[in-house]
Amino acid sequence: MSGKDTLLPGGKGVWIPIDHGVSDFPVQGLEDLDKIIEQIAHADAIVAHKGVVSHYASSEANFVAHLSASTRHAGERKSDKMLVGSVEEALSRGALGVSVQVNLGSVEEPEMIERLASTTEYSHYLNCLAMGMMYPRGENLNIMEDDDTNGAAHAARLAFELGCDVVKTIWTGSIESFRKVTSCVPIPVLIAGGPSGSSTKEILSIVDQAMQAGAGGVCMGRQVFSHPNPKEMVSALKAIIHDGASVEQVMEEFGL
C-alpha cells in the first residue's frame, strides 16, 4: 500500500498536526507527547516535526513530517516559514509524507513559495506524498472583489499547481463558498481547525458542512489535542469523514 493510500484512504483523511511546539511552547495538550500520540495514533496521519517522527516512528501512528518552521521570537519574520529538513531525510526518519507551509500575503511569501516548489520537486522524484499548508492571512493579502472564499480557493489552487498531492487551508464559513475551494482542484482539501473556543458540536458541525462541500477531511490540531477527550474526537472525525455519520450520532456514540 502506498503512502497516499495509507494517509488518505479513499481519498479522505483525518490528519492531526502536533507541530505547534516549535512555534510556541508550552502548548496545552502537547506537554506529554507519549500520552497524546497514544491517544491519537488511530488518526490517518499525525503531522509532526522530524525529531518527533524519528522518536515515535516505531509506534502505530502514521507520520507526515512538517518541513517548515519559525518561532514566536522572530519578530517581524515570525511568519517566515523556513525549510528545516528534506524529503529524503523525512522518509529515512520514518515519515510517509511531507508538509510545507506558505502564508499567502506575507512579505516573505515568494521565498515560501519557492520552498514549497522545491519540496514538491523532490517529493515527485522520491514518490512521496506532499501537502501544502496554505494560509491566506499575511499583511499584504489582496482578496479579489468577487472572492467570497477570502483567498482559500487561490491558496488551494496554488498548492495544486505547484505539485501538492493534498492541501490544507481555512474553512470559508459556508458550504456554498467552500465548494468553490474544493471544486477548483482535483486533490483532497483538508480544513484547518480554526480559532480556539468553539464547542465540540460547533467543531464537528463545521467538519460535517465541509464534507458536504466536497472536502477531503481535516488537518486539525488544537481542536483535537487540546480537547478533554482527544481519542474520542479522532474517532468522531473518522466516523463523519469516512463513514458519513451525523454529528448527533458521533457525539452520542463517543460521549462527546
Which residues are known to be catalytic? 19, 135, 168
Q: Are strands 97-104 and 129-136 parallel, antiparallel or unpaired?
A: parallel
Helix axes 33-40, 230-243, angle to 10 degrees: 30
Task: For residue 75, give the DSSP letter.
Answer: G
Distance CA 163, CA 174 (A): 27
The label of the residue with cell 479513499 reads: 10
Identify the bridge partners of residue 83 per DSSP, sorted by sequence position. 68
Instruction: Indicate the length of the chain as a whole number.
Output: 256
Yes or no: say if 93 and 55 are a contact pair by the CB < 8 Å rule. Answer: no
Q: Are strands 45-48 and 13-17 parallel, antiparallel or unpaired?
A: parallel
Q: Which residues lie closer than 8 Å to 251 by C-beta, 6 or more apart? A: 200, 201, 204, 236
Distance CA 242, CA 186 (A): 18
H helices of the chain, in order, are 3-7, 20-23, 33-40, 50-56, 87-93, 109-125, 152-161, 175-182, 200-212, 222-225, 230-243, 247-253
Distance CA 116, CA 57 (A): 24
Helix (H/G/I), strand (E/B), else coil: 185? coil
